[in-house]
C-alpha cells in the first residue's frame, strides 16, 4: 500500500465518500434516502423515550466499544434509557452455558420487553451472536436498528426495522462511520431543546 493511500487527506476523502453513499433500507428491503432513514431512526428512539422503554446496544470487539460510547451519548445527551449488555461476567456466563452465538440473545431474552429497541452493530453483519440478539428482541415485540458494512447482502442487514449499511470492507472506516452515525442521532436530540 503506497503512502498516498493512507494519507490523512486521502482517508478523509474516502470517509466522506463512504458516508455520502451510506444506504438505509427498511424491514421490507425498500431503500430510503439518508435523511429519511435518519428521521425514521429518530422516530424509533423518540418513541422509546416517550414510553420509557429501554434501548439496548450490542456489538463485538470494536463494535462493542462503539456501543459503549453511543450509550454514554444516548443517556447523557438524548436522555434515553440506554444500556450495553456486555458486562464481562454476565456475557461470559451466558456464552459459556449457551454458546457464544447465544450470549447476547440469552441476556436480552431476560431483559428485553415489547417496545424496547435494540441497536445491533456489526462491521461484517455476519456475527451470529448479533443476529441472534436481533431475532430475540424482535420476538419480544421490540424494534431493531442495524448498522453493518462489508457485503451488501450481509445477513444482519435484513433484520432491522431500519438497516444502515456502509459500502466498505475497511474495518476502520466502517467502525468510525457507525460511531459517526450514532453520534449524529444523539446530537439531534441535544440540539432539539424541546426534547430535553
Residue ranges of domains in the chain, CATH in brackets? 23-195 (3.40.50.10490)
pTM: 0.94
How many CA atoms lie within 13 Å of 124's alpha carbon, on the beta-carbon side?
7
For residues 116-137, one letter each, b for 16 or more C-beta atoms within 10 angstroms of the residue's C-beta and e for the rest, the string is: bbbbbbbbbbebbbbbbbbebb
Rounded-to-integer distance, Cα 61 and Cα 63, Å: 5
* pLDDT value, residue 52: 97
The burial of 9, by beta-carbon neighbours within 10 Å (0-12 exposed, 13-18 middle, 19 or more buried), is given as exposed
* pLDDT value, residue 196: 47
* pLDDT value, residue 192: 77
Per-residue pLDDT of the chain (196 residues; tens, 9 = 90+): 444 578 999 999 999 999 999 999 999 999 999 999 999 999 999 999 999 999 999 999 999 999 999 999 999 999 999 999 999 999 999 999 999 999 999 999 999 999 999 999 999 999 999 999 999 999 999 999 999 999 999 999 999 999 999 999 999 999 999 999 999 999 999 887 544 4
Residue 86: DSSP 8-state: -
Rounded-to-integer distance, Cα 133 and Cα 161, Å: 14
* pLDDT value, residue 193: 56
> Quick one: CA torsion of 134, 140, 145, 147, rounded to 10 degrees?
-10
* pLDDT value, residue 22: 96
Amino acid at each position: 500500500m503506497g503512502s498516498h493511500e493512507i494519507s490523512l487527506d486521502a482517508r478523509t476523502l474516502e470517509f466522506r465518500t463512504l458516508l455520502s453513499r451510506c444506504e438505509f433500507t427498511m424491514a421490507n428491503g425498500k431503500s430510503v434516502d439518508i435523511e429519511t432513514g435518519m428521521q425514521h431512526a429518530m422516530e424509533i428512539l423518540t418513541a422509546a423515550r416517550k414510553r420509557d422503554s429501554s434501548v439496548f446496544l450490542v456489538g463485538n470487539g470494536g463494535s462493542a466499544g462503539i456501543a459503549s460510547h453511543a450509550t454514554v451519548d444516548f443517556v447523557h445527551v438524548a436522555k434515553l434509557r440506554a444500556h450495553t449488555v456486555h458486562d464481562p461476567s454476565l456475557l461470559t456466563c451466558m456464552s459459556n452455558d449457551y454458546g457464544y452465538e447465544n450470549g447476547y440473545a440469552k441476556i436480552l431474552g431476560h431483559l428485553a420487553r415489547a417496545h424496547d429497541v435494540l441497536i445491533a452493530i456489526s462491521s461484517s453483519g455476519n456475527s451470529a451472536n448479533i443476529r441472534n440478539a436481533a431475532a430475540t428482541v424482535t420476538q419480544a415485540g421490540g424494534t431493531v436498528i442495524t448498522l453493518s458494512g462489508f457485503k451488501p447482502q450481509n445477513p444482519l442487514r435484513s433484520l432491522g426495522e431500519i438497516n444502515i449499511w456502509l459500502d466498505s470492507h475497511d474495518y476502520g472506516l466502517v467502525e468510525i462511520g457507525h460511531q459517526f452515525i450514532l453520534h449524529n442521532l444523539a446530537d439531534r436530540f441535544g440540539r432539539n431543546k424541546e426534547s430535553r
